[in-house]
Structure 1
Amino acid sequence: MKKILFIILMWISHGVNAQELFCNVQVNASQIQTSDRKVFQTLQTAIYEFVNNTKWTDASVKNEERIECTFLINIKEKVSNDEYKASIQIQSTRPIYGTSYKSTMLNYLDNNFRFRYLEYQSLEFNENTNLSNLTSVLAYYVYIVLGLDFDTFSEYGGAPYYIKAQNIVNNAQNAREIGWKAFESDKNRYWLVHDLLDTRYEEIHNCYYRYHRVGMDILSEKTEDGRYDITEALEELRGVYRDNPSAFILKIFFDAKADEIIKIYSEAFPNEQARIVKLLTEIDPANSTKYQAITAQSKGK
């Protein structure tokens, strides 16, 4: 009996302390001309194990609470025997309370992913130094995914993970690979975490929390109340836009949320639709044409 109880307790403990991510990893090397393609499968397996089997936080996470994400790596060029040029697309979602719906948190394509890898090479990462660009980039985006998710459950809850991501950026300032330095681009890994930690843009964290925890999580049961709080959350972004219309974090937010927002307001009252379309065309002008679909659907009824 004691043995059975011990096994049950061990099983419960394992469930509570599961790793934080449930990450689907895909490595596409169709553009590379080679007869030995096994190296790409071992790379995919190594990345999968690195991301999913590492304990990234001190948080207690149940298996069913793991954050679902996808890392899509498209290898474009084999530079040398062990070096590759690639892109990496990161997608993550957050489940919405009481529903089967999953809200997109991040959908970002990073075209500057250059790394070294030899078949069966172990992937090593150290928070205090830049051991390899492969693991630094992977760990960086893991912390961004974690930060965005934690931001939706408590105000500025993602801060510890953004700080870890920024530490990776700092460690990579002498790296020869691009994507880590401020002067290389105004939309890269440096600026993404910079914006997430910049006090000028603190409204973005209020937005992430109110949009999801106060708005989306009640939308299915209290539609009007939930939609009201989503509107108020989006209003928070007006301050970010007026401070810096080209802030990278605005693009990150709307690349993930634009289509969802259109669906949310497609059934709203006309006055709500008019208000949100006016707001969105101001703070996200790149998608202004797309947002006209909100009122167009209403007029077609």
Structure 2
Amino acid sequence: MRRLLVLMCVLVGLSASAQEIRCTVTVNAEQTARADLQIFRTLKNQIEEFINEYQWTNMKMTTQERIDMNLVIIVTDYDGDDFTATLQVQSSRPAYGSSYNSPIYNYNDKQFSFTYREFQPLNFNPNSFDSNLISVIAFHVYTVIGLDADTFSRNGGDPYFQVAKQIVNTAASSNFLGWKATDGAQSRFRYNDALLSNVFSEFHNVMYDYHRLGLDIMHENPKEAKQIMSTSLSRLRMINDRRPNSFLLRTFFDAKENEISRVFSGGPQVDIAKLIEDLNRMAPTKRASWEDIRY
């Protein structure tokens, strides 16, 4: 019941608050051999305006607090109103007391096709499926907002992941890929399901401890910050032991690979022998980055 009430408050607040996202959109259509068409420029501008001007939650945010988000749409095929593409979504949040932005989300959405007519209105209704373009964008926006909230309060992202789940459930009635349990291990359905599953519950505490208790005190006490960040990252090992090579952890390390390598390669030394062992177990494809860590 509590989750339902929170979800209702989020949806009610959609038209009553300041905008939360500062998004840059890139549309790359070189693979279509028609990259110079005006429709691609219109698509970029409409999506950017939609994300940046829509009121997604009832949170009160100043301009400086808006979440940085980057969307890269690579159109691979274009036939009339039908587009086949991939979508790279990235977001970041500032580290307290510094000018550094910490990457939070790095999702490569390969199950992305949509219908679009130039200058068509981009309208979002969480209770209906009207456009795969809008549903995919809204799903990622709420996921970004949720992950950002997780870094500032324990389980703070839950209501936004619930809205993303509602989008998944509504879009599942369509014929588009990414919305159903049968659409593979790297789908929007699987990612959202993991965020809301007790099997991955440690992930949310790690997001909070790593960022709020660790990264945000780096400017004051870098050694303590690194110790907290190391301990929190190692706790992800419990998830990996239950669900080896999970999509959730792969996406996390896609975002955090370079940051982790840099953080633990400089500044005051802490004992990270166990962390290196855990990183190699959890993200073996990034072993080269973990080997670059000098401590």
TM-score by length of 2: 0.91
Which amino acid in 2 is paired with 1:37?
L
How many Å apart are 1:284 and its aligned residue? 2.0
1:218-275 CA-partner distances (Å, limit 9, x unpaired): 0122011101110121122111111111321111111111111111111366661322
Contiguous gaps of at least 5 residues in structure 2: 1-15
How many Å apart are 1:283 and its aligned residue? 2.1
2:72 aligned residue: 72
Contiguous gaps of at least 5 residues in structure 1: 1-15
Checking the alignment, whether the CA contact within 8 Å between 1:231 and 1:276 is kept in structure 2 is yes
Q: Partners of 1:205 and 1:136 in 2: how far apart?
A: 24
SS of alignment partner, residue 19 of structure 2: coil
Residues 81-160 of structure 1 mapped to structure 2, 5 A cutoff: 81-160=80-159
1:38 aligned residue: 38
Q: Indicate the RMSD between aligned Cα atoms, in angstroms.
A: 1.7
Q: Partners of 1:237 and 1:148 in 2: how far apart?
A: 16
Between the aligned residues of both structures, percent identity stands at 39
1:183-215 CA-partner distances (Å, limit 9, x unpaired): 121111011111100011110000000000000
Checking the alignment, whether the CA contact within 8 Å between 2:222 and 2:267 is kept in structure 1 is no
Q: Is 1:61 matched up with 2:54?
A: no
Q: Partners of 1:74 and 1:116 in 2: how far apart?
A: 15
- The higher radius of gyration belongs to 1
1:120-164 CA-partner distances (Å, limit 9, x unpaired): 110121101111100000000000110110000000100011011
SS of alignment partner, residue 30 of structure 2: coil
How many Å apart are 1:23 and its aligned residue? 0.2
- Of 186-195 and 24-33, deviating more is 24-33
Q: Partners of 2:36 and 2:102 in 1: how far apart?
A: 39
Q: Partners of 1:26 and 1:246 in 2: how far apart?
A: 30
How many Å apart are 1:17 and its aligned residue? 4.7
Checking the alignment, whether the CA contact within 8 Å between 1:155 and 1:209 is kept in structure 2 is yes
Which amino acid in 1 is paired with 2:280?
T
How many Å apart are 1:165 and its aligned residue? 0.6
Checking the alignment, whether the CA contact within 8 Å between 1:89 and 1:107 is kept in structure 2 is yes
- Closer, same or farther: CA 234–36 of 1 in aligned 2, 3 Å: closer
How many Å apart are 1:287 and its aligned residue? 1.7
Which amino acid in 1 is paired with 2:262?
K
Checking the alignment, whether the CA contact within 8 Å between 2:168 and 2:189 is kept in structure 1 is yes
2:193 aligned residue: 194
- Of 269-278 and 114-123, deviating more is 269-278
Checking the alignment, whether the CA contact within 8 Å between 2:69 and 2:90 is kept in structure 1 is yes
How many Å apart are 1:73 and its aligned residue? 0.6
1:3 aligned residue: none
1:86-144 CA-partner distances (Å, limit 9, x unpaired): 11100101100010000001112111210011111101211011111000000000001
SS of alignment partner, residue 73 of structure 1: strand
Q: Partners of 1:202 and 1:229 in 2: how far apart?
A: 18
Q: Partners of 1:283 and 1:41 in 2: how far apart?
A: 40
Could you say which structure has the greater relative contact order, defined with CA pairs below 8 angstroms and 6 or more residues apart?
2
How many Å apart are 1:41 and its aligned residue? 1.1
- Closer, same or farther: CA 270–77 of 1 in aligned 2, 3 Å: same
Which amino acid in 1 is paired with 2:195?
L
Checking the alignment, whether the CA contact within 8 Å between 1:17 and 1:62 is kept in structure 2 is no
Residues 152-171 of structure 1 mapped to structure 2, 5 A cutoff: 152-171=151-170
1:254 aligned residue: 253
Q: Partners of 1:113 and 1:284 in 2: how far apart?
A: 26
1:268-298 CA-partner distances (Å, limit 9, x unpaired): 666613222112112222222321111xx34
